Amino acid sequence: LANYSEQFLLSDAERETLTRLCLEHVAGRVPVIVTCSHFSTDIVVAR
């Protein structure tokens, strides 16, 4: 997901599901970088 697009419409559970599915799909073949961003610092820290 792009830094400032649909990610803010997803729940944390949906974000976790997408992350898990991506990691399962690449199965260690390529590096995956997962970022944590939000307009609120408190939410970023909680994630």
pLDDT at 3: 59
pLDDT at 47: 80
Q: Is 46 left (phi over 0), alpha (psi -120 to 50) or beta?
A: alpha
Asked whether 32 and 23 are in contact (CB, 8 A), the reply is yes
Q: pLDDT tens digits for 2-32? A: 556 677 788 889 989 989 999 999 999 999 9
Nearest to 10 by CA among 41, 33, 43, 42: 43
Domain ranges of the chain: 6-46
Question: Lowest-pLDDT range, 5-9, 29-33, 35-39, 43-47?
Answer: 5-9
Say what the pTM is: 0.69
Dist CA 39 CA 17 (whole Å) = 21
**Is the confidence at residue 46, as pLDDT, over 60?**
yes
